[in-house]
Structure 1
Amino acid sequence: MARAVVIGGGVGGLAAGVALRRKGWEVTVLERAPAIEPVGSGLAVAANALKALDVLGLGDDIRALATADGPMALRRSDGRPLVQTTEEQADAQYGDSVVILLRAALLEVLAGALGGDRLRLGVTVTGVDAERGVVRTDAGELDADLVVAADGIHSATRRALFPCHPGPVYSGVTAWRALIPRGGLSVPRSESWGRGTVFGIHQLAGDVVYVYATDVLPAGTVLRDEREELLRRFGDWHDPIPALLEAADPARIIRGDIYSFAEPLPAYHRGRVALVGDAAHAMAPNLGQGACQAIEDAVVLAHHAGGDLTAYTADRLERTMKVVQRSMTLCRFSKLRNPLAVWLRDTGIATAARVRPDLMLRSMDEVLRWRPPAAA
């Protein structure tokens, strides 16, 4: 039986493990953390990734975690809508909409499908021999016919395989994320843009609200009180943003600078090693496609595993880098600060939406129409 070793127990790593296992591979997933303790946040699983999860037999499990339907609007900071869409419109065009769920819930579904005996926690990878398929760890060596590097945005495996690549670069934007009890508030799904700032709101299952926010800050900025900073930036925005921030637990607000690839890798494989997820194509979160592209990677890699990995690179590199570039373009639009530039941006979006009411969906058409390889 062919053997695969997966480095990293995040979304991409677990999905790759499940996909390869369904193809008959013996799989071991290595995760350096002593337990899978996901970041306390939500994430989006859009139509393209739901189709990939269908290949893994998990699509309906994730769809079942969707919250009540409702319009999704892009708004100004005062609440005025610029453009919106609905679940029904998305489902009619793509056969699916988008599920916003806890990252923890997605990882739980993936880990359950993988099987606990195939996941080794608390193991640190110290090196990889790409030609021989050897993974060196603090607990010894493992031989593999295929090594899957899903070790994240600052992937040590990627740096070893492609030492001349510059890696991800700072986008100029930092992001806050938090899970907040709804507490009786009316919570419309929305993303609102201000002058260089963004605030998103999504109702999750269990009466939990997932919020995220971004602002332009120098990389590595240290703030004394994250909730205080959010209130200072967004406390006068439209309802229910001020009330949500007042209800937030300061200890559960997390923040991280956003990095993205400016240059593509020369390939997503070398020797017996294949890169997936952020290790291959770190992107800004503005399209909500980071986890989705990692899940796509997993299914396509399993489709080509056992053959020439050049086919995996050919299927994934161009597509994922288009998503990286489009995400970064949106990031640049969202961080505009000049009042005239912001007015032109907002007016242009609103005008285009009047001409094309399906603007929000059509802008994602190429991304959402993806389908898994036919033989998958």
Structure 2
Amino acid sequence: MSRSRKLHRLSTPDTDERRAQRMLFRHLRDDTNADRGRMARRVRELQLLLAMDPVEFERLIARLMEAMGMKVELTARSRDGGVDVRGLDTDPFRGGNVIVQVKRYRDTVAPTAVRDLYGTLQHDGAATKAVLVTTSRFGPSSHQFVAGKPVTLINGAELVGLLKHHGFHEVFAAARDGAGAVAADGAGEADGLPAIEVAAEPARLLLHWTGEEEYDIAALVCRGNAALSDEHLVFYNNGSTPDGSVRLVTGYGDANACLMVDFDALPAEADRLVIVAAADTENHPGATMAGFGGPALILEAGADQPASVVHLADGAETNTAMRLGRFDRDEAGDWDFTPALAGYPGGLRQAVMAYGVEVDEADGADAVDEAVEVVEVVEA
């Protein structure tokens, strides 16, 4: 079957702009002293949460959910059935009835707690999704278990980031005033606060665009130009990689979409992270990337670090998906961002198949046969 030979070129940044964008998004490790100071502050912040009265901590989570736009109800402790907070998310696309369980733990949350919450969700007559919030961290088996399930895991570092993002800075005032009192290794007790396991702080990739249309954001964890596996495609039907190092999350109301990325936890064999935007052609057959206007990618490398912003090219009516760019790991282990733009008339299926992700023939054959050759505008 013949293929069309039309070329759809997006805007081409000049050499100086590309160099500036790469430097802007360089994910550098800080020097030892600065890193130690940041870790000490993060440990103290989590210790403050861990030391809170249990009821006050549940109320804090409820207030956070309200700040995120949910209608919230605290459950009676005598008959909560393992549910601490119930929320109604009214977002027409991602909303639903949410049950939340909070774990003020100092050690890694056991996978059994995650399975128990999923069991509670299955037997709840009203809930459509569940969230498990902890002050500590989750292991790889927990992330593997929730893959493809309507269960979200929020570790301590992510919780601190969410609280700060939604204005709860007063909770951590004591950490700002006395972070130096925490042990240098970031794990010991200080000022009577308990020791705690600290999860790595993920970076937040926030996507903004203008217009009324909804677009799906996907990420592929790759080695070179091939995804590590089908499970290393993160999108609306698979919200997390098997190890939880890349996850789609909600709760950032000032962003159209958000990816949490723990760059240091990405698989050792991975050297590339590709970001793709796609129109929802299954529910809206006529949708294109034409409404993807003024896109901007914002990198928040940590809750206490300034954000970096790069503006990308608008989408084209001739495409139903576009690659926004990619992060590449260099020999030193740092990550550089390149706005490597490309359009895909065949949509998300065509985009992911280009990276070796298998698509059922019934779903993907047309996308391949009708694929229009695309041009990669920026090549590192």
- TM bucket normalised to smaller: under 0.3
What is the TM-score when the length of structure 2 is the normalising length?
A: 0.25
Greater RCO, 1 or 2 (C-alpha within 8 Å, sep 6+) = 1
What is the TM-score when the length of structure 1 is the normalising length?
A: 0.25
Larger radius of gyration: 2
